[in-house]
Amino acid sequence: MSSTQQNRQETGAEPATDFGAVIVGAGFSGLYMLHSLRDYLGLSARVLETGDGVGGTWYWNRYPGARSDSPSYIYCYSFSEDLRQEWDWTEKYPEQREMRGYLQHVAEQFDLNRDIRFSTQVVDASYDEDTKRWTIRTDSGEEMTAQFFIAAVGALSSANLPDIAGRDTFAGERYHTGQWPHEGVDFSGKRVGVIGTGATAIQAIPLIAREAEHLTVFQRTANYAIPARNGPVDPEVQQQRKADYDGIWDRIRQSYFGFELWFEDHGALEDPPEERERKYQAHWDEGGFALWLGNYMDIFFTREANDTVSEYMRRKIQERVDDPETAEKLTPRDHPFGTKRVPLETNYYEAFNRDNVTLVDVKSDPIQEITPTGLRTGDGGEYEFDVLVFATGFDAMTGPLNNINIRGRGGRLLRDRGRGGRLLRDKWAEGPATYLGLTSADFPNMFTITGPQSPSVLSNMPVSIEQHVEFVSRIISDMRERGAEVIEAAQQAEDEWVAHTQEVAHSTLLPQTATWYMGANIPGKPRVFMPYLGGVGNYRQHCDQVAANDYEGFVFSS
């Protein structure tokens, strides 16, 4: 029985269908958004969630080895001092079960479940200019209305199952890592194929290799992965952090990427080679993102600086792989280090030293088709398996939003004789267009939490999520004070923001690499750099300045 049905039975009342806000998604963003609007602002709010429990990313991604690549002490909420003090993390990089447990605990602690409708997918959301309200329709045909429509849908929640010929003919077990069965998968004694070598596959491969009879990995692009150096959290360190949480959060909120990591104050080529090597080695030994996000800043800007760290990484990979041919295949030579999302790994490269693991390079010999028994490559390679795992990522950032029929100004649900306004995905046909990654012109009273053109996936997500949730709450609270019912991005402000995000991105090396940041992993998706690269601290200050300047770039109406 759903919580709503239960409520109805207990109270005998018809369920509410009109809300202050409807929020889509019960992950990190949706949970805090609900708490903020309901418990701080007293707004009636309803969360609609596809899964049958809270957790978002940590609900869906249950593949072996799934864990956070951000350290636990900052991959969490900061908003509640009680929560910060009472929760103890067991590992530096918490695994999926612990992350989900944390979010379940938060939902219980703040009594959130009663306002979440689970197993409910939002199909349409449409703004009505006459009533100044959104109408939201779910997959069961139910409708509700709200003043605010808030998409807390996550940036990496729309699974990408590539349209490979014969895909659906495979007769064995088939899984996508982002839609993993809740009961788990037993690989023992089985021949397994994994397509993909992104951050997900790099976490899963060493564990699948240990269990499977044989594992074949199909790699299109070799990645530069850094050792995670995961381990238990030292209770003393945990206590020290608890005593300094305000300090830690002040620092990460003003940092570039939302971590306690800082760039060197000079360029890579200004240090002699031995000093550079010493620094790279120190970061390597420390593990985690330091080598990527706490290094010389110019590795993001010039090939010469970047070559020094790319070359260092290539050496490190080659040292760990026994077979020279396999080592060469695993060594990225087609893109600069750090221009794709850098995965963290534990025994990833060593997995390829096992007798039961084979690496197939599908860039030089592309997958031609999936067959009932396995897979065939262009050069005639035939591979058979019992289980096929798609670790093929997501239609990132815009995918989860474009999956909903979101209609803005002039919008009605389709059933109203097609008087619908423009669909968000049509507006975004050439790439996302937002003001601050938070709103889009012609879509009044709609907010996207960590949407495209905000720091989002180029940051430690909870830091960016909290900033967005708090900014949205502040906007709504200020609207009440000024008696405004509607807020919307001005077209000019949006145009300028889009141009700014592109200018910042294109001053770096990142857009030169085919990545999901660029939409390059999805055939036909526009190639536009989506996350904002201007830095978490700078972005926060900019948003605060916008609010201080009487919400410059926004238009209010009553």
Q: Give the binding site for ligand NA7 (CB under 6 A).
A: 156, 162, 164, 177, 195-201, 218, 220-221, 341, 362, 367, 391-394, 457, 516, 521
Helix axes 461-482, 245-254, angle to 10 degrees: 80
Query: Minimum CB separation from ligand NA7 for residue 260, in Å?
Result: 19
Alpha-carbon distances, residue 487 vs 149, 312, 542 (angstroms): 12, 50, 18
Taking the least distance from each CB to ligand NA7, the nearer of 57 and 126 is 57
Taking the least distance from each CB to ligand NA7, the nearer of 201 and 528 is 201
Measure the CA angle with vertex 242, ends 236 and 243; round to 5°. 95
Helix axes 536-548, 245-254, angle to 10 degrees: 80
Token pair for 538: 């700078």
Query: Minimum CB separation from ligand NA7 for residue 156, in Å?
Result: 5
Distance between alpha carbon 447 and the CA centroid of its chain, in Å? 17
Taking the least distance from each CB to ligand NA7, the nearer of 61 and 440 is 61
Query: Minimum CB separation from ligand NA7 for residue 541, in Å?
Result: 25
Taking the least distance from each CB to ligand NA7, the nearer of 127 and 383 is 383
Query: Minimum CB separation from ligand NA7 for residue 434, in Å?
Result: 20
CB atoms within 10 A of CB 355: 6
How many residues belong to the chain? Answer: 558
Contact 393, 160 (CB under 8 A): yes
Query: Minimum CB separation from ligand NA7 for residue 362, in Å?
Result: 5
Taking the least distance from each CB to ligand NA7, the nearer of 43 and 199 is 199
Query: Minimum CB separation from ligand NA7 for residue 250, in Å?
Result: 25
Residue type, 416: D
Taking the least distance from each CB to ligand NA7, the nearer of 152 and 201 is 201
Contact 546, 553 (CB under 8 A): yes
Query: What gap in Å lies between CA 258 and CA 536, rounded to an integer?
Result: 6
Cα–Cα nearest to 202, from 461, 364, 393: 393
Taking the least distance from each CB to ligand NA7, the nearer of 47 and 201 is 201
Token pair for 457: 């996936």
Taking the least distance from each CB to ligand NA7, the nearer of 178 and 408 is 178
Query: What gap in Å lies between CA 280 and CA 313, rounded to an integer?
Result: 9
- DSSP codes of every residue in 123-167: EEEEEETTTTEEEEEETTS-EEEEEEEEE---SS-SB-----TTG
Taking the least distance from each CB to ligand NA7, the nearer of 45 and 156 is 156
Query: What gap in Å lies between CA 30 and CA 440, rounded to an integer?
Result: 19
- Cβ neighbors of 374 (< 8 A, separation 6 or more) are 170, 193, 382, 383, 384, 385, 388
Alpha-carbon distances, residue 349 vs 127, 198, 446 (angstroms): 51, 13, 45
Distance between alpha carbon 514 and the CA centroid of its chain, in Å? 18
Query: Minimum CB separation from ligand NA7 for residue 117, in Å?
Result: 26
Q: Which residue is nearest to ligand NA7 (CB)?
A: 198
Taking the least distance from each CB to ligand NA7, the nearer of 341 and 525 is 341
Alpha-carbon distances, residue 414 vs 87, 154, 307, 368, 411 (angstroms): 46, 26, 53, 40, 9
Query: What gap in Å lies between CA 38 and CA 21, rounded to an integer?
Result: 9
Query: Minimum CB separation from ligand NA7 for residue 518, in Å?
Result: 11
Taking the least distance from each CB to ligand NA7, the nearer of 461 and 475 is 461
Query: Minimum CB separation from ligand NA7 for residue 230, in Å?
Result: 16
- Cβ neighbors of 91 (< 8 A, separation 6 or more) are 67, 72, 98, 230, 231, 232, 233
Query: Minimum CB separation from ligand NA7 for residue 442, in Å?
Result: 30
Query: Minimum CB separation from ligand NA7 for residue 449, in Å?
Result: 16
Query: Minimum CB separation from ligand NA7 for residue 113, in Å?
Result: 26
Buried b or exposed e, range 239-248, using 16+ CB within 10 angstroms: eebbeeeeeb
- DSSP codes of every residue in 75-130: SS--S-HHHHHH---SBSS-BHHHHHHHHHHHHHHTT-GGGEE-S--EEEEEEETT
Taking the least distance from each CB to ligand NA7, the nearer of 220 and 251 is 220
